[in-house]
Amino acid sequence: MASVETAAEHERILREIESTDTNCIGPTLRSVYDGQEHGLFMDKLDARIRNHDREIEKMCNHHFQGFVDSITELLKVRGEAQKLKSQVIETNRRLQDDGKELITSMEELRQCRVQQRNIATTIDKLTHCLPVLEMYSRLQEQMRAKRYYPALRTLEQLEHTCLPRAGQYRFCSIMAENIPKLRTQIRDTAMTQLRDFLESIRKHSDKIGETAMKQAQLQRSLDSSMCVQPRALIGQRSRREAAAAMTGTDSDGQGGSPLSEQDSGILDVENEEEDDVPGAQDLVDFSPVYRCLHIYTVLGLRDVFENYYRKQRRKQARLVLQPHSNMHETLEGYRRYFNQIVGFFVVEDHVLHTTQGLVNRAYVEELWELALSKIVAALRTHSSYCDNPDLVLDLKNLIVLFADTLQGYGFPVSQLFDMLLEMREQYGEILLKRWNITFRQVLDQDNYSPIPVSTEQEYRQYTSQFPLQDPELEKLPFPKKLPFSEFVPKVYCQLKEFIYACLKYSEDLHLSSTEVDDMIRKSTNLLLTRTLSHCLQYGIKKKNVGLAELVQVIINTTHLEQSCHFLEEFISNITNVPPDTANATKLYGTSTFKDARHAAEAEIYTNLNTKIDQFLQLADYNWMTAVQGSGALTTSDYLIDLIAFLKSTFSVFTNLPGTPVEHATLPGKVAQTACMSACKHISTSMLQLLLDPEVRQISMGALHQLNTDVKECESFARAGPVAGFQGDTLLLAFSDLRQLLDLFTQWDWSTYLADYGKPTCRYLRVNPHTALALLEKMRETSRKNNVFAQFRKTDRDRQKLIDTVIKQLRNLIASQHHT
C-alpha cells in the first residue's frame, strides 16, 4: 500500500516538473530530496527521460525527408537571391541618385515649418505680453497724471489678469515685484491728498459755513412769499454727481476717479454772481475723500481709512469748537465761530449722504451732541461778558440763523433755543441797565417846566409822542402850555422803545403770541418797578431839586400813571393778545407812578420843612427882653420872610405860571397836606425854640414877642393860602402853641389847673411838662431880677406865685404818674 502511494506521488512530481517553469521546480525537487524514496524517484525519472527520447527520435525520423527537401530548395533559391540582391542594389543606387534633390527640398520644407512654428509661438507670446506692456504703460501715465484710483484699477487688472497670461518672463517678474511698491505709493499719495483736503477744509470751514448760513438766510427770506424748498434739494446736483462718480466707471472700462482728479481744496467761486449764491457743497472738491475711500476699499483697508478719517475729524471738531478768548468783544467773533461749526457739519453731512458707511448717522449725531454741549457752554460764558443790548440782539439773531441752518441739515437744535430763552433774562437785565442810564439822562436834561406850544403842529407832535386826551386843553388858544414837562413824552417813548426791544428778541424763537406777550409784560414790569422807579427816586432825591420841580414831578407821574392803559393796549396790539386774556400779566405802572408821586410828595414836605428850618435859623429872639406896650411889638423879620416864601410857594402849588389852573394844580390834597405840614412844622419849631435846653431863661417880654409872631402865622393860616380847607382847620396847626402862649401871657393858671383833664378845658392842648419847663425858665429870670430888686413887693409876689404854680404843676404831674 505504501509503494502505491509513493508511485502516485512520484508520478505527480514528474507531471509537475514537465508542466512547470524551470524557475519554480526548486520546491518540488526539495520535496524529493526530503523523502525516503530518492533512488526510486531517480529510476522513474530516467525511465521517463528514455521514454521522451524515443518519442523525439520517432518524430525526427518522421520529418527528416522533409528537411532534406527543404535544404535542396534552399540551395536553389540562393542563386536567385543573389540576382535579386544585385537588382535591389542597383535600384537603390538609382533611387538614391534620384532622391537627393527631394531630400534637399524636404529639409528646406522642414526648416520652413520650424520657422512657421516659432513665428506662431512668438505671436502667441506677444499676444499675451503686449497687453501687459500696454497696461503697464497706461499705469505709468496714470501715475504721472495723479489719477490714482484708475491706476489702482489698472494695477489690479495687470496683476490678476494680464501677468498670469504672459508667462514667466523677467520683465513680468520685475513688474510683479513693483506692484506692491506701486500699491503702497498710491495708498500713501491718496492719504497725503486726504490730509491736504482735511487741512484745507479746516482752514476754509468758516467760508463753507458762511455760504451755508447765507443760503439759510435767503431761504428764510423766501418763506414768506413762496413754499420752502426741502433742504435735501440743496446741492442735490452735486450729490447726484458724487453718487454717480462713486459707482460709475470710465468710458474705456478702466474705472474713473470720483468727481475730478484735481487736488483737494476749496473751489474758486470768487467770480460767481452775488445773487447766485453757490451751494455750500459746491465750494468743496470732495474727490480726495472719495478717491482715498475707493483706494483703501480696493486695498482691503476700508476700516483703517474709516477710523483714520473719523479720528482726524474728531480732532478738528475739538479745534473748531474751541472759541477765541475775545470772541465776546465783537459780533464778528461769534460769526466766525458759528461759520466754522456750520462748515464742519455741512461737510460731514455731505460725506454722510454721498458715501456708504464712511461716516454713519450715529457718528454724526455723537459729534453733534459733543458740539452742542460745548457751543451752549461757550455761549453762556462769553455772552455773560456782554453789556451791549444791540450786540446781544445781533447775537441772538445770529444764533437763530445758526440753529435754522443746522436744523435744515437735520440736526436737533432745541437746546440752542432753550439757551436763547435763558439769554432772554440776561438781555432783559442789559436793557434795564441801558434804560436806567437813558432815564437818568432824561431826568438830568429835564427843565421841570410845562411844555410851551405855540402852533398846532407842535401840539400834534407832542400828542403823537404821548397819549394826552384833554378836550379843555385843546380848546385853549395858542400859545399854551402842556401840563407836563419834556420828561413825560420822552419817558413814554422810551417805554415803547423798550417794549420794541423786547419784541425784537422774541422774534424767530418759535414762541406763541401768549408767551411773547407774557415775556414783554414781565420785562416791562421790571423796567417800571425797578429801573424807572429807582430813577424817579434818584430824580426826587437830587440835591438841586426844588419845590417847583417836585411839584412838576408829581404832575408828570400823574400823567404817566394815566397813560398805563395805553401801554397795555400798545403791547396787546403788537402781540395780538387781548389784554383781558386769562392769566395775562398786568402792568405795574400805576403802582410805580403812585409810589413815585408819594415819594415826591414826601420830599415836598421834607424840603418845605427844611426851607422853613432855614428861615427859623435866622430867628434871633432876645429871651430876656422886657415887657413892652402892645403897640410897640412888630413881627420878626425872619417870620415876615418865611410867610412871604410860603405864600409864593403855595401859589406855585396851586397855579404854575402861564398854565391854566385846572392843568397845573397838584392832584388830590397834596397842596393842603403840604400847607398843613408846613404850619405844623412852624408851630412845632417855635415851640422847640421855647423849650431849647440852651435857652435857660425866658422873660415875659420874649413870650409877648413870640405871641406876636404866632399871631402873624395864624393870620397867614386864616387867609387860606391853599384852597380846600374847611373853616379854621389850618389854624389847628398852631393850637398847641396858641393855648400855651395864652396861658402864659394871660397868666390864667387857676383855670388851667382847675379844668385840667376836662374835655371843655380851654387849655386842653397844653402839656403840664411843657408848661413846667417854661415856668422854670421864667423863674430863673425872676430870681436873677430879684437879686437887684428883692425889696420890691410886686416882684416878690410874682416870684412866689411862680413857685406856687410850679409846685402845683409838679403835683399834677405826680398824680398823673400814680393814676
pLDDT per position as a tens digit, 439-475: 899 988 888 888 888 888 888 888 888 888 778 888 8
Percentage with pLDDT > 90 across the chain: 4
Picking from 578, 610, 642, the residue at the C-terminal end of a domain is: 610
pLDDT of residue 795: 63
Say if residues 272 and 255 touch (Cβ distance below 8 Å): no
729 and 758: one domain?
Answer: no
pLDDT value at position 201?
Answer: 83
Cell digits of residue 391: 450786540
pLDDT digits (tens, 9 = 90+) for 64-88: 888 888 888 888 888 888 888 899 9
Residues 642 and 713 in one domain: yes
Q: How many domains does the chain have?
A: 5
Tell me the DSSP string of 272-326.
S-SSSPPPTGGGEE-HHHHHHHHHHHHTT-HHHHHHHHHHHHHHHHHHHTS--TT
* Neighbouring C-beta atoms of residue 518, cutoff 10 Å: 18
Task: Look up cell 447765507; give the residue.
Answer: 214
pLDDT at 114: 93
Residues 286-336 have pLDDT tens digits of 888 888 888 888 888 888 888 888 889 888 888 888 888 888 778 888 889
Residues 587 and 564 in one domain: yes
Q: What is the DSSP string of 106-157?
A: HHHHHHHHHHHHHHHHHHHHHHHHHHHHHHHHHHHHHHHTT-HHHHHHHHHH
Q: Do 305 and 333 sit in the same domain of this protein?
A: yes
CA distances from 274 to 214, 225, 762 (A): 11, 21, 99
Pairwise CA distance, residues 84 & 261, whole Å: 92
Statement to judge: residues 713 and 803 lie in one domain:
no
HSE at residue 164, side-chain half, CA atoms within 13 A, is 5
Residues whose CB is less than 8 angstroms from the CB of residue 688 and which lie 6 or more positions away in sequence, other chains included: none
pTM greater than the 0.85 cutoff: no
**pLDDT category of residue 262 using cuts at 50, 70 and 90:** very low
More confident residue, 807 or 793: 807
The mean pLDDT value for 679-695 works out to: 89
Note whether 395 and 435 are same-domain residues.
no
Banded pLDDT at 489 (limits 50, 70, 90): very high
Q: From 63, 88, 112, give the residue that closes a domain.
A: 112
Q: Is 438 within a domain? A: yes
For residue 195, pLDDT over 90 is answered with no
Q: How far is residue 175's CA from residue 796's CA, in Å, rounded to a whole number?
A: 152
Assess contact for 257 and 287: CB atoms under 8 A: yes
Residues 562 and 543 in one domain: yes
Q: Tell me the CA end-to-end span of the chain in Å, nearest whole number.
A: 188
Domain boundary (51, 82, 112) is at 112
Q: Is the backbone peptide bond immediately before 479 cis, with ω within 30 degrees of 0?
A: yes
Q: Are 423 and 394 in contact (CB under 8 A)?
A: no
- Burial class of residue 802 in the structure, from the number of CB atoms within 10 Å of its CB (0-12 exposed, 13-18 middle, 19+ buried): buried
- Domain membership of residue 43 (yes or no) is yes
Q: What's the rounded Cα separation, in Å, for the pair 25 and 212?
A: 111
- Judgement on whether residues 310 and 379 belong to the same structural domain of the protein: yes
Q: Does residue 433 sit in the same domain as residue 531?
A: yes
Whether residues 192 and 333 share a domain: the answer is yes
More confident residue, 88 or 246: 88
pLDDT tens per residue across span 498-527: 999 988 888 888 888 888 888 888 888 888
Whether residue 113 is predicted with pLDDT greater than 90 in this model: the reply is yes
What is the Cα 592 distance to its own chain's centre? 36
- Cβ within 8 Å of residue 19, ≥6 positions away: none
Task: State which residues form the domain around 578.
Answer: 427-449+485-610
What pLDDT, on the 0 to 100 scale, is given for residue 119? 92
Q: Are residues 801 and 756 in the same domain?
A: yes
Q: What is the mean pLDDT of the segment spanning 369-379?
A: 89
Amino acid at 429: E
Nearest to 331 by CA among 388, 250, 416: 388
DSSP string, 629-668: -GGG----HHHHHHHHHHHHHHHHHH--TTS-HHHHSPST
Helix 361-383 × helix 302-320 angle, to 10°: 10
pLDDT band at 789 (very low <50, low <70, confident <90, very high): very low
**Residue 245: what pLDDT?**
36
Q: How many CA atoms lie within 13 A of 686 on its CB side?
A: 28
- Where do runs of H (alpha helix) occur along 325-455? 331-354, 361-383, 389-408, 414-445
Angle, helices 547-562 vs 487-506, to 10°: value is 40
Q: Examine the domain organization and report whether 587 and 516 are in the same domain.
A: yes
- Asked, for residue 108, whether it belongs to a domain, the answer is yes
pLDDT score of 264 more than 60: no
On the question of pLDDT at 43 being above 90, the answer is no
